[in-house]
Chains A and B, each alone.
Chain A
């Protein structure tokens, strides 16, 4: 599956992705915030994972997983946990 994902992705070499990544972090946090009141934290995390799975392109998923792995500081707690869980469905080597 890892190779599958890599093959499908556009190349990300030598480009400035800071603005894009900033948006993705913001979006993930927003999704988490809007799901927090749905009940317990676990439910919010599960909803956030589901949302990202259903609506985000693979390239976006990969970027947020990479970001969470390497830094992740700007992700709120729920979003961060959701991205960790997302990584289980989309395993990647770093």
Chain B
């Protein structure tokens, strides 16, 4: 009897040998499986698959295993190992099934005596130059070479092991996270192809020919010294133990896996936490994760050691004042101490005198609980989150123009983009997994426009075809976007049909009148932006001229005095060109932290309840009042910078901070320190003694993403499950701590599991109405809105209309920043991230990622350096009107003259001692990206750095006394 098999569901733990086929239609529709179906016969089983599928994949889909070594379903077929050969009726010889596409009516046989002999012979040759140390090999139990040797029935190696071989090849242990053991290498080139095709770095190559072939990193200078970015794709691709995680070498093979979500950047990669008992052996990117599709970066893949670092705070601690040693106390005592202090503060200074900061690193459920506690138990709306200092202008700008405070696409959408317009973002460092996806699309021929003061690495993408760099001066974003829009309108490049059908006529008229003003022309804006008028026009024509133009942006857009204006300018541009409402287009904010989107969605802002529902709206507020059983203040509360101001004024006296390091991450450190020192009660809940905790009176142990259940929402509005793999080191998960504090303050909370919190969220937030843990388990992940109208979520927003009906063009006048270069401060400082470190560095500084970046430096153009007599590595004093700090010089051609740059991952750097209190006009998002500075050679650290060191020493000692 002939069996018929139609594959339905993909098992993401299985390797299907070659990727699912993508239709080869020209133009923008490159991605997507062909709709043409083909039926063939493999070993007597009839199987129907999409046209373009390989025989190897078709067999795997039907549950038929064909041995293979050089093939993997995340790499294009290569056809070199000759193990996946099959016999096909009517075809000569033994074709490789990985490179043979299916044909209608094809008859394939995968197991015959000649095939078995051929495969054994191939394996015999491989094994003749491979160590026979399987029992002591780290890959024992997870080795494809071993499995295939077993499958083909290899029983002898007739060639012996004498003669020339590679068995003594040296190990490369330069990378802190993995070892390259060349003696185990079969030169299948999967690592090389993974580096090229998956990661897009092209750091590896096969050097030499024939027997002399070997894998080398860079110019054969070892992995660490090469261009390798430690994404781990090669390690994952390796079918032997040649490339192996050091943790597996040390601990052995894991025994179970839990699928969870990375807690670093806003890409939100899904990982399999490979466990041994309650120890994480390794983190492996999960192929079923929609955001990352089996890829990872050095942070998510390897930098998880901080979770068990000796510096972890595991006991609750209290003290009366910050010059006293910490006292270890029970959870009950710590919570009642905190509650009493907060209550006493409110009694003395009023109900509005305390507030809290929710964490964009914690889960949605935890963030929701913190803001709920503030609005109920504190009885005010003084809640804010770190999105204040990163993407608050995104919320404001996108809500004003398109009616929803979120990006419009999936990450996958980039596969359909013909032109990528990237503004103020550096994805290869800050969103590396998505950058790899972008690079793949660029290699396929998509055009690239980068608006950034620096020559960022994406512009150096190998095999990049056309790219335009708009090296604008910091602070001139709005001038640039207006000039681009002006060009599009005056040259009649707009999408009139989209504008007519989808946008508000009155707003459009106003905008058209404004944008066509001569002051907005490329010629007028050229001298302001520093970009030539012709280059601006070229970029405008390119973006407007392609079928699908997609805009991606980061904090280089938002962290400006006109951050919100720029976001609106971006939305205007997308609407004017009709680049909204389908795949391949859109407005895509790249979120900084893992759960920035979620923290905003969950009502962390002082003016909005969960789901962006304004506190002043009686109907919306009434819904929450009914469910929460209390009256909610109908006035907005204080935002983070307003809290600092009020603290310095003496009217704001108590603060609860969950998983956020405002002392390091917020601008104008002097002001922040003054504010924190003025508090009567500072409660910090964190995994480490961070900079903020040094000013605290209560220190509550936080839990890492490995220690709790919950959800994160990434930059594509994708809600992903976080699953507990080990118990909280401090006994309680963060949501349990907030619950205890709320109960002690007299507002009862009683949840048994975060899923109950999500159910409450779903009942109050219309865009989350269909979200539950059950649905998340069923679907894997859900992109909100998810409700009756969109039961499976919404991958692409604004397909038919906007939540506000018609799109709203906003008038976006350019107003120069008050931070201008002057004679006293002639340079403009801008700040950003580096690949190996994350934000304030509290996590990554406690991992081997320090290998790549153990200090922040000041990048400066050679001409600015020469003018000041600066050499590489010199100590430089950097002064602004806010403060002074000292960093080492890093002379870089990628800077433009007049602009300097630094990262802010190390507290001692004091990057934010220099940044000012200027902020976005609409949201108070700090203007981190523009600070006028002077730079000069110095011989000693700054005064602030000296006082930081002694304060740090004192506080660490006070902690040690309490431990």
Q: Which A residues form the contact surface with B (CB < 8 A)?
A: 8-12, 14-17, 19-20, 23-24, 27, 30-31, 33-34, 36-39, 51, 53-60
Contact = CB atoms under 8 A, between A and B. Distances in A.
A34 B635 contact: no
A89 B144 CA distance: 73
Contact of A53 (B616, B637, B641): B616
A18 B652 CA distance: 15
B645 A54 contact: no
Contacts of A11: 349-350, 651
Contact of B646 (A20, A34, A37, A51): A20
A60 B642 contact: yes
Contacts of B622: none
B636 interface: yes
B649 A15 contact: yes
10 contacts: A8-B633, A10-B350, A10-B352, A10-B651, A11-B350, A23-B917, A34-B565, A38-B811, A57-B606, A59-B651
The 4 nearest A-B residue pairs measured at CB: A15-B650, A37-B813, A10-B350, A30-B921
Contact of B352 (A8, A23, A31): A8
B569 to A, nearest CB: 12
Given A20-B645, A59-B651, A33 B921 contact: yes
A55 B639 CA distance: 9
B340 to A, nearest CB: 19
Given A14-B650, A55-B607, 12 more contacts: A10-B349, A10-B350, A19-B645, A20-B646, A20-B648, A23-B641, A23-B645, A30-B561, A33-B921, A54-B614, A55-B923, A59-B352
A10 to B, nearest CB: 4
B831 interface: no
A20 B649 contact: yes
Nearest to B607: A55
A36 B514 CA distance: 12
A36 B814 CA distance: 11
Interface in B628-646: 633, 635-639, 641-642, 645-646
B703 to A, nearest CB: 31
Contacts of A60: 638, 642
Contacts of A51: 922
B10 to A, nearest CB: 47
B720 to A, nearest CB: 31
B813 A36 contact: yes
Contacts of A57: 352, 381-382, 606, 635-639, 642
Interface string B368-382: 000000000000011
Given A11-B349, A37-B813, A58 B635 contact: yes
B510 A54 contact: no
B352 A16 contact: no
Interface in B618-669: 633, 635-639, 641-642, 645-646, 648-652
B635 A8 contact: yes
B889 to A, nearest CB: 34
Interface in B541-565: 561-562, 565
Nearest to A20: B645
B616 A16 contact: no
Contacts of B813: 34, 36-37
B606 A9 contact: no
Given A57-B352, A57-B606, A59-B352, A34 B649 contact: no
Contacts of A34: 562, 565, 813, 815, 921-922
A8 B638 CA distance: 13
Contacts of B349: 10-11
Nearest to A16: B649
B529 interface: no
B921 A27 contact: yes
Contacts of B921: 27, 30-31, 33-34
A37 B814 CA distance: 10
A72 to B, nearest CB: 19
Interface in B905-943: 917, 919, 921-924
B351 interface: yes
B353 interface: yes
A36 B919 CA distance: 18
| Secondary structure of the B contact surface, majority rule | loop
A11 B923 CA distance: 26
Contacts of A20: 645-646, 648-649
Nearest to B923: A55
Nearest to B918: A26
Nearest to A28: B921
Nearest to A14: B650
Contacts of A56: 636
Contacts of B648: 16, 19-20
A16 B650 CA distance: 7
Given A34-B813, A57-B637, A17 B649 contact: yes
B536 to A, nearest CB: 21
Nearest to B517: A37
Contacts of A17: 649, 651
A60 B652 CA distance: 12
A36 B652 CA distance: 33
B351 A8 contact: yes
A86 B916 CA distance: 29
A59 B646 contact: yes
Question: Which of A10, A17, A19 has the most chain B CB within a 10 Å cutoff?
Answer: A10
B468 to A, nearest CB: 29
A22 to B, nearest CB: 9
Contacts of A9: 350, 352
A76 B856 CA distance: 41
Question: Which of B562, B651, B811 has the most chain A CB within a 10 Å cutoff?
Answer: B651
Nearest to B812: A37
Nearest to B614: A54
A39 B382 CA distance: 33
A78 to B, nearest CB: 13
B924 A27 contact: yes
B485 to A, nearest CB: 14
A14 B480 CA distance: 47
A4 to B, nearest CB: 10
A27 to B, nearest CB: 7
A31 to B, nearest CB: 6
Contacts of B352: 8-10, 57-59
Interface in B595-618: 606-607, 614, 616
Question: Which of B642, B671, B815 has the most chain A CB within a 10 Å cutoff?
Answer: B642
A3 to B, nearest CB: 14
A58 B350 CA distance: 13
A65 to B, nearest CB: 14
A62 to B, nearest CB: 10
Contacts of A10: 349-353, 646, 651-652
A14 B651 CA distance: 10
Contacts of A16: 648-650
A87 to B, nearest CB: 15
A72 B728 CA distance: 54
A55 B388 CA distance: 13
Contacts of A14: 650
A24 B923 CA distance: 13
Contacts of B650: 14-16
Interface string B382-396: 100000000000000
Nearest to A38: B811
Contacts of B562: 34
A19 B811 CA distance: 32
Contact of A39 (B510, B641, B922): B510
Contacts of B637: 57
Contacts of B651: 10-12, 15, 17, 59
A59 B349 CA distance: 13
A31 B636 contact: no
Nearest to A90: B635
A54 B350 contact: no
B814 to A, nearest CB: 9
A9 B349 CA distance: 9
A15 B675 CA distance: 13
